[in-house]
Amino acid sequence: MVAQALTLLLVVIVAGALGFAGSGCATVDRAEPVEPGAFAVPGDQAWISTGVTLDLKQKLLIEEVERPQQILVKGNQRQAVSARGTYLFDVETGPYPLEPDRLHNDRRYPGYCLIGRIGEDGVPFFVGSRFQGVAPQAGMLWLGINDPTPQRNRGAFRCRISRDYPEPPEPKPAFTEAETRTEALGNPAAPPPAAAEPVAQPKPVPDANVVVIFVDGLRPDVAVEMAEWGHLPNFRELFLENGAWVRNSFAVQPSLTITNFSSMITGVYSNRHGVKMQAYYDREADTYVNGLSVRYFTRFANEVKARGVKTIYDYFPDSFGAGAMPYQPLRANVLQMNMVEWLHRAVNTANYSSNIKDKMDEVQTRFAVDLASSPKVKVMLVWLPSTDVVSEHTPHGQFGGCRPTIARMDEDLGQIVERFNIRHRFEKTYFILVSDHGHVGGHDIVNQRFDVKREIFHAYLQMNVVGMWHRFNYPGAPADRLGAVSDSDGAVGIFLPLRRVDSDDLSIPSTYEQLTHYSLADESRVNVVELFAEYSSKGRWPLPDTTKRPVDFAVAKVDADTVLIYKTMDRQALIHARRNADGVFEFKYEPVRHHALGQPLEPITSGDPLGYLDSAAFRKEVRNVPHWMESYHTGTEWLQATYRTEYPGCVDTLNLYFRWDGPVTKDSPVPSQPDILLFASKGWVFEPKINLENRNEATIGSRHGMAFREATNHCLFVSGPGIRKGVIIETPHRIMDLMPTVLQMAGKDPNSTGMDGRPIREIWEGLQ
């Protein structure tokens, strides 16, 4: 159908200010147009009727006109907005019309944007600079401004309205690697394969620069949504319009910052770099380590170096530049711009040293601009941590109060790009925007706390327990009856004395068999994996509905090559590992029930802990599920098979988490590993209900660490010379693939490094 443009003009109603939704607003039926097809929506009235009547589910297109006028919020020249609104200032004290149930500073939608509703009492919906959809109900179309007190605004939005729009053609999806392989193998009439030809290699520009913008915790769907709404213009221009989005890239398990940062800058799994968790009980030193504190700033860097694993700053010793990172060695960067120089600029930017923590993105950007001016800096890493921090302390996270922080991140990105342009370095620079994990909560749920210290350690084990924030003693328990918990977001490590609560031996973890016969102080025995996975202080969670309990599943080590995933006694899975003839790890996922050492396995055909047996997406990738489950497959093959499921690429990372395949020396001992690794269900995080160290109960927001897609799907956007433009890469990848890609962009051979990651070929022009 041909679009039917409407030529009515909405004008400011002088008769009086209009009220909020459902307040009986006055309107005019018709208005004389001042220009063909344009509607004016006055900024000083809450709502105005368009005179356009819509049927239920009728198509509706609303677009802001080109070169629109702006509304001056409260008449202030410095507070001018177009129909897209803004996240960058907020002069209200009450809730906005679009989200009346939320605090004014915890909103998903921008303030002062164009909004609509159907009918005088209809539910408001977001329009912004463009809305395309169907009418949620029949009635008159009203438009307004997302402002609880619009009376002092000046100006009007101008837009066009159509009751139809053409449907875009649906592109035919390309075969995945697994589908292509299966089709070829299953076709008996297929011709013999052609002789193998040399694989074409990317051709990065000579003497290239590589800039990694590490935005801690940024969700890719949030970044794209905000960009499409017009609130990340620099991100949109650089990456969405002139770059490639690797949409299916995933973190390693658990999806915590320091573990994934380690894989990001080394290109290897934790079984080689050894950074298993950011807070843990050091079994060698018999002490608790909070890796998020300043005290341990260099600890992880020193340990990774002692294990013989190279990082990004080792691969580019004379040309790498960065400000503060989650961890790093104390050494001068290029041009003597070390951390002393960083602190000098940080104080100048934040005014006081006590303000630096709250202005980290601004501080980091200030230092990055100086690094961008140095021709000696060829590889940069800019860590912007504020998105993660703010997400964790606003109820709706990145679907609420964190959005102004993300909008300011885009301004930081613009400053860095601008400096490369000014220095005539932009044309030879590759930009990568990456996050280390996703975030869970704030969209359809607000997270709840589950305190494993109170709920399990005290209620059932009667143990003292130490965590990130404090030691929590059990009344009457001996001082040396001590366990530990990592207290970290959506994944926690449980550290227990060997075999029994009173053994006072935390030097090594117990095996799954030992944990199923764990001795309490009264000599009775319990299955502690079952306790941590299925119980609270009130008893066992109801079995029929496992979605509402706090623990998604637990993982424990069975033997050197095998771990067990435990959801319930009837929903378990063994993950076996072995090396193939080429020395590459392969993994077998074996769903079972009631696993016990020495007893025959009881296979299950439905309800496995990761949901693969019942997943249509998994079945589509592997075609024959029983046949697939009988065999071992590489980590890359498992990622390909599971990347469309709710638990992408978990099989290899969960097994490798409990392995140590690095050196074992005095300088490089076996990394501390928990007895049990717990993963939170959606809607839950592992935290004390109150921080006893400072008697403060901070607002809980969105979190990460969990094993499912929302927590593990991270940002990976690439732009630069020879990079495909405006495309979405569907082929799955991992966060370890970043480092070999950086090496390739910088003209180094990533294949000679022995990394687990692989360069991302699909981003290059001509190498699809």
Contact between residue 716 and residue 219 where contact means Cβ atoms under 8 Å apart: no
Query: For 246, phi and psi rounded to 5 degrees?
Result: -85, 90
Residues of the chain with pLDDT under 50: 1-34, 175, 177-190, 335-336, 694-695
- Tally Cβ neighbours within 10 Å of residue 265: 31
381: helix, strand or coil: strand
CA distances from 466 to 455, 496, 526 (A): 14, 11, 22
Q: Which of 717, 711, 728 is nearest to 653 (CA)?
A: 711
Class of the CATH domain delimited by 39-162: mainly beta
Q: Where are the domains of the chain?
A: 39-162, 209-266+278-444+701-763, 448-560+670-700
Rounded CA separation 189/194 (Å): 15
Identify the helix (H) or strand (E) that includes residue 471. strand 471-472
Rounded CA separation 767/33 (Å): 53
> Under CATH, what is the fold of the domain 209-266+278-444+701-763?
Alkaline Phosphatase, subunit A (3.40.720)
Q: What is the DSSP letter of 422?
A: H
Rounded CA separation 624/647 (Å): 19
What pLDDT score does 175 carry?
A: 47
692: helix, strand or coil: coil
Contact between residue 405 and residue 387 where contact means Cβ atoms under 8 Å apart: yes
Q: What is the DSSP letter of 509?
A: P
Q: What's the one-letter identity of residue 648? A: P
615: helix, strand or coil: coil
What pLDDT score does 446 carry?
A: 82
Q: What's the one-letter identity of residue 294? A: V
* Secondary structure in 3-state letters for 709-721: HHHHECCEEEECC
Rounded CA separation 416/213 (Å): 10
Radius of gyration of the CA atoms of the chain, in A: 28
Rounded CA separation 744/754 (Å): 14
302: helix, strand or coil: helix
> Cα torsion at 338, 344, 350, 352 (round to 10°)?
130
Structure tokens at 627: 């046949």
* Residue bearing tokens 């709710």: 646
74: helix, strand or coil: helix
Rounded CA separation 276/478 (Å): 30
**Rounded to an integer, what is the distance from CA 654 to the centroid of its chain?**
18
Strands 429-434 and 209-215 turn out to be parallel
* Residue bearing tokens 């995080």: 685
Question: Over the stretch 706-732, which tens digit does the pLDDT of each residue have?
Answer: 999 999 999 999 999 999 999 999 999
Q: What's the one-letter identity of residue 709? A: R
pTM (2 d.p.): 0.90
Q: Which of 134, 150, 119 is nearest to 21 (CA)?
A: 119
Question: Over the stretch 2-29, which tens digit does the pLDDT of each residue have?
Answer: 333 333 333 232 223 333 333 333 344 4
Contact between residue 239 and residue 455 where contact means Cβ atoms under 8 Å apart: no
CA distances from 584 to 136, 463, 637, 754 (A): 54, 42, 12, 11
Q: Which residues contact 287 (CB under 8 A, 6 or more apart)?
A: 281
CA distances from 232 to 338, 411, 412 (A): 31, 8, 11
210: helix, strand or coil: strand
Q: Which residues contact 467 (CB under 8 A, 6 or more apart)?
A: 279, 288, 453, 484, 485, 486, 487, 688
Work out whether the CA dihedral 603, 609, 613, 619 comes out positive or negative.
negative
* Residue bearing tokens 């009220």: 19
What pLDDT score does 68 carry?
A: 87
Q: Which of 184, 163, 150 is nearest to 23 (CA)?
A: 150
501: helix, strand or coil: coil
